[in-house]
Amino acid sequence: MKTVRLTMAQALLRFLDNQYLDVDGRENKFVRGVFGIFGHGNVVGLGEALVDGSHGLTYYQGHNEQGMAHAAIGYAKQMRRRQIFAVTSSIGPGALNMVTAAGTATVNRIPVLFLPGDTFACRQPDPVLQQVEQFSDPNVTANDAFKAVSRYWDRIARPEQLMTACINAMRVLTDPAETGAVTLALPQDVQGDSYDYPEEFLRKRVHHVVRRAPAPAEVVRAATLISAKRKPLVICGGGVRYSGAERALEAFCVALNIPFAETQAGKGVLPWDHPLNLGGIGVTGTLAANTVAREADVIIGIGTRLGDFTTASKWLFQHPKVEFLTVNVNSFDAHKMGALPVIADAKATLDALTKALTKAGYRSGYTRQIRDARTRWTAEVDRLYAQDDPAGLSQTRCLGELNERLLPKDAIVIGASGSLPGDLQRVWRPRAADAYHMEYGFSCMGYEIAAALGAKMAAPDREVFALVGDGSYVMLHSELLTSIMEGLKINVVVFDNNGFQCIDNLQVSQGITQYGNEWRRRDQKTGLLTGEPVPIDFARNGESYGARGFAVRTVGELRDAVRQALRENRSTVIDIKVAPKSMTGGYEAWWRVGTAEVSRNRKVVAASRRQKAEVARARKI
Ligand SMILES: Cc1ncc(C[n+]2csc(CCOP(=O)(O)OP(=O)(O)O)c2C)c(N)n1
Ligand SMILES: [Mg+2]
């Protein structure tokens, strides 16, 4: 057996550089590069291997470990999981800064390879700087925190362990059902330890994404269930996009006259104006989707994890005989809500079901209901797009203005947290493929700007707009600097409503007195945060990094800013002061939250009773 003497870190990079993915006969390199922030836990090990240069991986300097990992997620998501980044950090705080992002990746089923440095395996310098020290178990390090948020986790305590760890890492990262964060913890001494690696380990490897076809019996069972129903509704999830099943979904819905509604990850798979598209479903759904869902007698979930926002905490589906059918490559998801599962690829299953049901002469019983629901909803969005607010610019008006200007450009919009995802799911009108990029599995503040950088790397010819609340901007915008350094232009649109306003809404809706969500100075009289609002100049903040800043207070200024931002070649920050309560409200939906059963505030108790009444109407499974 031919071998080559390499450090563990050198072998790891050579291995990563030689991984390829084959989807439907098209092959591409799987790992594009490495994002990193160096410290003593990785600069002399993995860092040395990166400098060494005998690999084709590009190194990108991140500026906050969570941010750079969010950029990696944004990249892989925009690439439909066909290409990924690895992310490397030092030990201790640098590593722990990535844990949240590992959660974001795993929840959203997005592949990212996490390579945190780890404390010395040899334990000679014990404790090393930044070692946490668990008194009862020296094997536990900060990196054990990744276990809860990784789909695969290993610690490379000896250089030869790297080989099986890498094979397993690729197995999970390239598997559409299992994918998410993969963590390989790299002790800082072992990174530099050398070993005679077999060339066999370092050769080119192609990982094939298999389209798992449904079993014939699964197709028969699914077709039989649908045939017995008159009012089916499809829920289109992110799995439809990852499977490349857009046309198959359209053919299925058109042939059988079945409408579809969209989850956040599935929105934009087909254009907003498709005659069978009812728009977003659930807590932040549209009136069209939610009213049709209420009366549907079979829910066909395709590539969806059926999160509570999609199902309105399992409350949405009120037909007395409603049944559930799920198509998912992931058996865990397919079994949710006691559904009849088809554990298979979306495209393959939709093709098979269209064939079986067309042959059986099936068509749904909808007549005018779909068109009427769409017409009413289109008029409502037009109203929201035109909405003025005496307190300033309305958020929905701004979204309308942005949509009108960005639609012809096929621009990508990115969102994740605050009130914007709800508004976007309801009112944004996407047309181009992969133009709507929403992280709503974790709804992690601090995703938007970093992910915009990742999306720009994935689609360098497209304009990318991060739509972000003031809260999320303040929490994490470090990768704005990366965008400037790399000359990768992103546009950041800050919706400044002076605080954590969607949580303020939630608090007030449950009868609680406003407390701790608006950004106000501490009031010396009350001792509470009820003083003057704290104004922030986000345009100047962006300019201080080298971005072009725009201060927007009027519709005219917004139009000007977007026009100029589209002409710019450096990153931009558009600072819009929006009226705090100008986001959309609910449309025939409900969301379960934990409420106080007893309180001195009668409104709280009343809200808790209302919650209980709705819980009684929600499904138990
Ligand atoms: C990392 C993280 N911390 C906390 C939350 C809970 N949370 C959800 S939205 C929100 C407020 C967001 O404020 P902002 O970005 O200004 O958006 P707005 O609601 O004002 O539109 C908070 C604190 C979260 N989703 N993510
Ligand atoms: Mg805000």
What pLDDT score was predicted for residue 53? 81
Ligand nearest to the CA of 497: 2
Flag residues of the chain having pLDDT under 50.
none
pLDDT tens per residue, range 587-606:
999 999 999 999 999 999 99
Burial class (CB in 10 A: 0-12, 13-18, 19+), 555: middle
Cα-to-centroid distance, 467 and ligand 2 (Å): 11
Question: Are 463 and 438 contacting, i.e. CB atoms less than 8 angstroms apart?
Answer: no
Q: How far is the CA of 59 from the centre of ligand 1 (A)?
A: 31
Distance 419 CA to ligand 1 centre (A): 8
Q: Which two structure tokens, joined as six digits, stand for 425?
A: 């799911």
- For the CA atoms of 539, 543, 548, 554, the dihedral, rounded to the nearest 10 degrees, stands at 10
CA of 616 to the centre of ligand 1 (A): 29
- What pLDDT is attached to residue 390? 87
**3-state class of 326 per DSSP?**
strand
What per-residue confidence (pLDDT) applies to 615?
Answer: 97
- Is the minimum distance from the CB of 419 to ligand 1 under 6 angstroms? yes
**Max Cα-Cα span within the chain:** 79
What's the pLDDT tens digit per position in 245-290? Answer: 999 999 999 999 999 999 999 999 999 999 999 999 999 999 999 9
Q: Which residue has the tokens 């009427």?
A: 372
Which ligand is the nearest neighbour of the Cα of 423?
Answer: 1
What is the pLDDT, as a whole number, of residue 391? 85
Crossing angle, helix 369-385 and helix 395-406, to 10 degrees?
110
CA distances from 241 to 263, 283, 409, 442, 460 (A): 11, 22, 21, 19, 20
Contacts of 179 (CB under 8 A, 6+ apart): 81, 109, 110, 111, 151, 172, 173
Q: Which protein residue has the closest C-alpha to ligand 1 atom 8?
A: 418
C-beta 443 within 6 A of ligand 1: yes
By alpha-carbon position, which residue is closest to atom 2 of ligand 1? 445
pTM comes to 0.98
Q: Please tell me the number of the ligand nearest to residue 443's CA.
A: 1
Q: Does any ligand 1 atom lie closer than 6 A to the CB of residue 471?
A: yes
Q: In angstroms, what is the span from residue 449 Cα to ligand 1's centroid?
A: 14
| Helix/strand/coil (H/E/C) assignment for every residue in 149-202 | HCCEEEECCCCCHHHHHHHHHHHHHCCCCCCCEEEEEEECCHHHCEEEEEHHHH
Cβ neighbourhood burial of 52 (10 Å; 0-12, 13-18, 19+): middle
Q: pLDDT tens-digit profile of 168-194?
A: 999 999 999 999 999 999 999 999 999
Residues in the chain: 621
